[in-house]
Amino acid sequence: MSLTAGVELAAGERSEQAGGLYRDAFRRLRRSPTAIVGAGLVLLFVFVAVFAPLLAPYSPTAVDLTDIRPGVFPGPSAEHPLGLDQLGRDELSRIIYGARYSLLIGVVSLSLGAAVGLTLGLLAGAFGGWVDSLVMRLVDIMLAVPSLLLAIGIAALLGPRLISVMIAIAVVNVPIFARLLRGSMLAQRRSDYALAARSLGVTRSRIVLQHVFPNSLAPVIVQGTLALATAIIEAAGLAFLGLGSPDPAIPEWGRMLAETNAFLASAPLLALWPGLAIVLSVMGFYLLGEALREALDPKLRR
Amino acid sequence: MTDPSAGPLITTSAREAVPGQLRAEPLLKIRDLTVTFASRGRATVRAVDGVNLDVAAGSTVGIVGESGSGKSVTSLAAMGLLGRRGVEIRGSVDFDGSDLLHMPEQELRAVRGREIAMIFQDPMSSLNPVLTVGRQITEILVRHRGLSGRQARDRAAELLQSVGIGDSLRRLKSFPHQLSGGMRQRVMIAMALACEPRLLIADEPTTALDVTISAQILELLRRLVADTQTALVLITHDLGVVAGLCDRVHVMYSGRIVESAPRRPLFADPRHPYTTGLLASVPRLDAPRGVPLLPIPGSPSDTLPWARGCAFSPRCTRQVDACLGAPPVLEPLALPSHLLRCVNPVPPQKLLG
């Protein structure tokens, strides 16, 4: 009996061996209710976006005019669980397909913005001195303009297209990531292990890339999830303002919301559905980000 | 056993007597090292003030003092680890014939870790939390020894074995937080000794550890230094640590060496009031029951600038008028290897015999 206990202990120890900072954080994450709810919402959102064609009962562009008359909107029914929109399209199918566009805009703009922002932050954090000053003044200028205004300006400049929305949101993300990584790296550069590595003759590039950079990533990961949430809101905002794609066939949540404006009194539910979709997906990312921040907080580590 | 400090005093170009002069040329020779921190809008701080220090190959030298006495800054300055902005370093640091203070950074990096290595106080924060200890040890072997993959890993396992970590191949895959404090410090020692440096600087290596582990680590250091003929500079505030390990002890206060002697004379016949104060504040098992510990009054920040007299005088129980006015000089006593910076020293005594 004691033999099996020993074997179990060894196995438990081995799984412990495999863990690092991030594995450790993951273990804490699994025990956090906030994280579970957030991850559930995010997974649902991604699942719906990926499998939209299989989940949607109708095509998002298919028009069913049998029950449509001016000023009359058939509400939820057996065939159309969320009802039909003003053009006789199935609202549920459009919401489901809309998840694709939100996810696409979120991921593309986040990747673009984070790539540029992290490169700038890495440069500033690694070299310091005048490189740091130059990069940070650039970032200050970008931060001085309110983010939505900046996004509107860029979207207006590039014309109302899907790609311009992505670029606009990406540009807004650049200074946020640059500052975050730079600050985090500056703090880590002064850490004892960086000094210890220096005292053992490790080269500067290795200290920056192998020691400082990986330790500076925790806040960036958190910001990544929060930035996805912000990207969804901003995409919806831009579309609401008419700066998204002009193609009426594209079921974008923000635009769906904007289009129901005129019928708010007669068909309030049509505004509720895309609004709810936005709120739930954004909340998912926020909750997950919040839980991640807690899980990665070094002060909470044993 | 050769006593490296027993040699006659050789006069040098430096202003003051040099502690620990040797017959042979020492491995590390620090002369008149002065470190000044200056930042805009604040008063400059002279953390190290004209320190002379010799370390012979294979010997162990202790630097003792309270927090803020400049002992760590001395070692960091010697290694070129202080950074450049707002720091002014003067004097010379000679390591086996080459001047560390004026060496290009690139050459200095080749010396660090291979010729001189350091161990720091807190083994938790001195190890990178996201890398396995194996990665961190092999990194140094790859850097300085040019070992690759399997070779480096085998050598790293050997090193862990030599610092008393069993099951070392498996331990290489551990992350720092999975090890105990003592194990982490052993890993740090393994990293420092990876390239068999000729000089090891241990900056408070046992301060963050509990007493039993601390004793183990000190014993390990003693054994490794004896086996490999590595010179050791031991920086500590604990005279008990010094007593068991060092050939020669320098007591620092407010950036200057105030007393310097081979271990036996220092413990048998401490002359500086600060040294006796430190000794009186160490709890002893052989002391009679009921005798209270005597702390040094005041705090390390109650200092006088050296230019205006003895920096220790505001806290000193033996203060006389002569303490103020001019800085006291570091002078040899009857025993030429015993140096003292005090105008009113504690009378000779035979406390510990």
Q: What is the mean pLDDT of chain A?
A: 83
Note the pLDDT of residue A7: 39
- Quick one: pLDDT band at residue A8, thresholds 50, 70, 90? very low
Angle between helices A21-30 and A33-50 (to 10 degrees): 90
- The answer to whether residue B6 scores a pLDDT higher than 50 is no
Handedness of CA A139, A141, A144, A147 (dihedral sign): negative
Pairing of strands B87-95, B256-262: unpaired
- The answer to whether residue B202 scores a pLDDT higher than 70 is yes
Tell me which chain B residues have a C-beta less than 8 angstroms from the C-beta of A208: none
Of the candidates A226, A213, A229, the residue with the CA atom closest to the CA atom of residue A293: A226
Note the pLDDT of residue A12: 38
SS3 content of chain B, % helix, strand, coil (to 5): 30, 20, 50
Taking the C-alpha atoms of residue B201 and residue B221, their distance in angstroms, rounded to an integer, is: 11
User: CB distance A214–B131 less than 8 Å?
Assistant: yes
Tell me which chain A residues have a C-beta less than 8 angstroms from the C-beta of B128: 193, 197, 210-211, 215
Is the minimum CB–CB distance between B144 and chain A shorter than 8 Å?
A: yes
User: pLDDT tens across B98-140, in order?
Assistant: 899 888 888 989 999 889 999 988 888 899 888 889 999 999 9
User: CB distance A200–B192 less than 8 Å?
Assistant: yes
User: pLDDT tens across B302-349, in order?
Assistant: 888 888 889 998 888 888 888 888 888 898 888 888 999 998 888 886
Q: How many CA atoms lie within 13 A of A248 on its CB side?
A: 7
Q: What is the CA radius of gyration of chain B?
A: 21
- The answer to whether residue A90 scores a pLDDT higher than 90 is no
Taking the C-alpha atoms of residue B160 and residue B192, their distance in angstroms, rounded to an integer, is: 11
User: CB distance B117–A17 less than 8 Å?
Assistant: no
- The answer to whether residue B150 scores a pLDDT higher than 70 is yes
Percent of chain A topping pLDDT 70: 89
- The answer to whether residue B201 scores a pLDDT higher than 90 is yes
Among A18-27, A128-137, B132-141, B159-168, which stretch is predicted with the lowest mean pLDDT? Answer: A18-27
Note the pLDDT of residue A83: 79
User: CB distance B81–A199 less than 8 Å?
Assistant: yes
- The answer to whether residue A114 scores a pLDDT higher than 90 is yes
Pairing of strands B231-236, B199-203: parallel
At B312, list the tokens.
Answer: 């220790």
User: pLDDT tens across A144-172, in order?
Assistant: 888 788 888 888 888 878 888 888 889 98
- The answer to whether residue A32 scores a pLDDT higher than 90 is no
User: CB distance A200–B175 less than 8 Å?
Assistant: no
Note the pLDDT of residue B257: 92
User: pLDDT tens across B251-268, in order?
Assistant: 999 999 999 999 988 888
Q: Using alpha carbons only, give the angle B153, B156, B160 rounded to the nearest 5 degrees.
A: 140
- Quick one: pLDDT band at residue A46, thresholds 50, 70, 90? very high
A214: closest chain B residue by CA: B130
Distance from CA of A217 to the nearest CA of B (A): 11
- The answer to whether residue A104 scores a pLDDT higher than 70 is yes
User: pLDDT tens across B283-302, in order?
Assistant: 777 777 777 788 888 887 78
Burial class (CB in 10 A: 0-12, 13-18, 19+), B307: exposed
Is the minimum CB–CB distance between B111 and chain A shorter than 8 Å?
A: yes
Is the minimum CB–CB distance between A210 and chain B shorter than 8 Å?
A: yes
Tell me which chain B residues have a C-beta less than 8 angstroms from the C-beta of A200: 112-113, 117-118, 140, 191-192, 194
User: CB distance A202–B113 less than 8 Å?
Assistant: yes
- The answer to whether residue A74 scores a pLDDT higher than 90 is no
Note the pLDDT of residue B1: 42
CB neighbour list of residue A242: distance below 8 Å, 6 or more residues apart? A160, A258
At A51, list the tokens.
Answer: 């499998």
- Quick one: pLDDT band at residue B17, thresholds 50, 70, 90? low
Note the pLDDT of residue A179: 93
Q: What is the mean pLDDT of chain B?
A: 84
- The answer to whether residue A15 scores a pLDDT higher than 50 is no
User: pLDDT tens across A252-270, in order?
Assistant: 888 888 888 778 888 888 8
Q: Which of A198, A215, A298 sits opposite B128 (nearest CB)?
A: A215
- The answer to whether residue B47 scores a pLDDT higher than 70 is yes
Taking the C-alpha atoms of residue A122 and residue A117, their distance in angstroms, rounded to an integer, is: 8
Distant-in-sequence contacts of A267-270, Cβ < 8 A, 24+ apart = A267/A73, A267/A75, A267/A83, A267/A86, A269/A75, A269/A76, A269/A82, A269/A83, A270/A73, A270/A83, A270/A85, A270/A86, A270/A91
Note the pLDDT of residue B349: 67
Is the minimum CB–CB distance between B118 and chain A shorter than 8 Å?
A: yes
Q: Which of A16, A192, A202 sits opposite B178 (nearest CB)?
A: A16
User: pLDDT tens across B159-190, in order?
Assistant: 998 888 888 888 898 888 888 888 898 899 89
- The answer to whether residue A174 scores a pLDDT higher than 80 is yes
Tell me which chain B residues have a C-beta less than 8 angstroms from the C-beta of A202: 109, 113, 139-140, 143
A212: closest chain B residue by CA: B128
User: CB distance A20–B139 less than 8 Å?
Assistant: no
Task: Please tell me what DSSP assigns to residue A20.
Answer: -
Is the minimum CB–CB distance between A15 and chain B shorter than 8 Å?
A: no
Note the pLDDT of residue B11: 39
Which DSSP helix (H) or strand (E) runs through A231? helix A218-240
Note the pLDDT of residue A139: 92
Q: Mutate which of A16, A200, A211, A212 to disrupt the B interface (most B C-beta within 10 Å)?
A: A200
B180: closest chain A residue by CA: A302
Q: What is the value of ipTM here, to two decimals?
A: 0.80
Q: Which of A16, A192, A201 sits opposite B113 (nearest CB)?
A: A201
Note the pLDDT of residue B14: 40
Tell me which chain B residues have a C-beta less than 8 angstroms from the C-beta of A16: 178
Residue with tokens 């390390």: B300
- Quick one: pLDDT band at residue B16, thresholds 50, 70, 90? low
Note the pLDDT of residue B31: 92
Q: How far is CA A107 from CA A241, A275, B50, in A?
A: 21, 20, 60
Output B32 or B292, whichever has higher pLDDT.
B32
Tell me which chain B residues have a C-beta less than 8 angstroms from the C-beta of A193: 125-129
B119: closest chain A residue by CA: A196
- The answer to whether residue A299 scores a pLDDT higher than 80 is no
Q: Are B241 and B232 in contact (CB under 8 A)?
A: no
Note the pLDDT of residue A300: 56
Q: Are A201 and B110 in contact (CB under 8 A)?
A: yes
How many interface pairs between A and B have CB atoms less than 8 angstroms apart?
88
- Quick one: pLDDT band at residue B205, thresholds 50, 70, 90? confident
